[in-house]
C-alpha cells in the first residue's frame, strides 16, 4: 500500500495538509476535528487553501496529500494548468470511504446524514475526476511507494 511519507531517494518532500495545518495551529493532528468544530469549517477551508498555496509556491519536488474537501474548481484549474504539478485522485467508492472513517471523531462532516455525505461526494467527484491521474481501488493497491506513483504519473 502506498505510503507517501516514506523516506525516498527521489528528492521529494512529502506533506499532509491536515498535519501541516495542525502544526501551524499548535495542535496535534488528532485535535484538528475539535478545532474545526469550535472555529468552523469555513475558517478551516480558508486556512487549508492558504496552506496549499504556500506549498505550491515552494517550487520543490513535493507530494502533497490533501483531504477530501481541499480542492475546489479554482484550485483544480490552477493545478491542472501548471506544468510542474500533477494531480492524482485516489478514487474510492463512498461506501468504502465511510466504512474506513465512520468512527473517526476528527471528521466533523460525519455528523451529516448519509444523503448529505452522498451529495458532497458526488459534487467533489465531478471535480476530482479531472485529475491528471485517477487511480481506482485496484490500481491503488498496485502502488507500493512513491517511486511507483511517480512512475505511473510519468508513464501516462
Residue 96 has pLDDT above 70, yes or no: yes
The residue whose grid cell reads 467508492 is: 93
Domains of the chain from N-terminus onward: 13-154 (3.40.50.300)
How many helices (H) and strands (E) in the chain? 8, 4
Residue 7 or 31, more confident: 31
Q: What is the pLDDT of residues 26-84, one digit of tens each?
A: 999 889 999 999 999 999 999 999 999 998 888 777 888 887 788 888 888 888 888 88
Reported confidence tier of residue 156, pLDDT bands at 50, 70, 90: low
User: Over the chain, what is the mean pLDDT?
Assistant: 84
Average pLDDT over residues 122-140: 89
Amino acid at each position: 500500500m502506498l505510503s507517501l511519507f516514506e523516506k525516498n531517494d527521489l528528492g521529494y518532500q512529502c506533506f499532509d495538509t491536515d498535519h501541516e495545518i495542525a502544526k501551524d495551529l499548535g495542535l496535534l493532528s488528532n485535535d484538528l476535528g475539535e478545532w474545526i468544530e469550535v472555529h468552523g469549517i469555513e475558517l478551516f477551508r480558508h486556512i487549508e487553501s492558504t496552506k496549499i498555496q504556500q506549498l505550491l509556491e515552494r517550487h520543490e519536488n513535493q507530494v502533497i496529500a490533501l483531504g477530501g474537501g481541499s480542492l475546489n474548481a479554482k484550485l483544480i484549474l490552477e493545478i491542472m494548468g501548471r506544468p510542474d504539478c500533477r494531480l492524482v485522485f485516489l478514487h474510492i467508492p463512498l461506501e468504502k470511504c465511510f466504512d474506513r472513517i465512520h468512527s473517526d471523531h476528527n471528521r466533523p462532516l460525519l455528523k451529516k446524514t448519509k444523503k448529505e455525505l452522498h451529495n458532497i461526494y458526488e459534487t467533489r467527484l465531478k471535480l476530482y475526476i479531472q485529475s491528471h491521474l485517477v487511480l481506482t481501488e485496484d490500481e491503488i493497491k498496485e502502488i507500493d511507494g512513491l517511486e511507483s506513483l511517480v512512475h505511473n504519473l510519468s508513464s501516462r
